[in-house]
Amino acid sequence: MSKKSAAVNLWIVGSVGIDDVKTRTADRKNLMGGSLPFSTAAASFFAKTGAVGVVGSDFPAAFERRWQAFGTDLAGVQRQAGATFRWACAYDANMIERETLKTELGVFADFKPELPEAYKSAAFVLLGNIQPELQLHVLKQSAGAKFVALDTMNLWINIAKPALRKVIRRVNLLTVNDGEARMLTGKWNLCDCAAAILKMGPSHVIIKKGEHGALLFSKRGIFIVPAYPVGKLVDPTGAGDSFAGAFMGYLARGGRVTDGLMREALLHASAVASFSVEGFSLESLERLTLAQIGKRVAELKRMMAV
């Protein structure tokens, strides 16, 4: 894509796809998807964010324009001959469980992430949900990284656990859902899961519980943030990516990591993720303003007050 890169506060690596999504109310095709558009769009509300990914020659120019409209730097997104990663899913009636109907890797199968020179000094990094070997490959290029977050999934825990453990040792924060935390550690109680993960190397771990919120664990203790109660759930796809992106974007805006900033980042992440599920693809985030995010953060704080 754009060959000219600018200095960024945060860079994120992940997948870029074209999705077909079926829910209980709609069947939408050819949507911009993948972890990277969601996470970078969410992060870009708070910090100058760079994207590292790959698309095929069929990736629509309109998608690129929509993505750039968030202010995301796309110098790290490679365009290669071939087909863009395609994925299709169908959600059940409760909009929690989903069935993958199609996965076509296209150019993503041979993706080898390379950091633009301007990204290498960024202090904040989010390793999105891709193969652990690729996460480690791109992390080694980041000389300026001070706080690195890692997202992963059950697939990599199942088929690439040794490589994943190597990446976990190199990062400051791991974010997983409750099922993945149990699968990774072999434990059931989430406090035990978090303790086991902290022993693997990270100083912090976030365990997501979907509509029930998220828990932040560190040696300093536990902080629990609720999910914002959404009135109209349209499409849950990308909610976790939006959460992680907003969290890291908020930290990057602050330029440092403190307990207070991390708690504020979690609240902002919960708010942004709640908007993400109110539309398909990036549609809801494209209509979003900082004032609307701030309003939901304030509402969350009132809900939590004792």
Q: What does the pLDDT look like over 13-26, one tens digit per residue?
A: 999 999 999 999 99
Q: Is residue 162 part of a domain?
A: yes
What's the structural domain count of the chain? 1
Tell me what pLDDT residue 7 has.
Answer: 86
| Partners of residue 88 on adjacent β-strands | 20, 102
Q: Is residue 151 part of a domain?
A: yes
pTM to 2 decimal places = 0.96
What is the domain range of residue 207?
A: 10-304
Q: Is residue 3 part of a domain?
A: no
Residue 277 near residue 235, CB atoms below 8 Å: yes
Instruction: Note the pLDDT tens digit of each residue in 87-145.
Output: 999 999 988 889 999 999 999 999 999 999 999 999 999 999 999 999 999 999 999 99
Gap between the Cα atoms of 204 and 218, Å rounded: 5
Please name the residue that has the structure tokens 């990591």: 257
- φ, ψ of residue 104 to 5 degrees: the values are -125, 110
Q: Is residue 2 part of a domain?
A: no
Q: Is residue 1 part of a domain?
A: no
Q: Is residue 5 part of a domain?
A: no
Q: Is residue 17 part of a domain?
A: yes
Domain CATH number, residue 242: 3.40.1190.20
Q: Which of 192, 173, 82 is nearest to 127 (CA)?
A: 173
Q: Is residue 4 part of a domain?
A: no
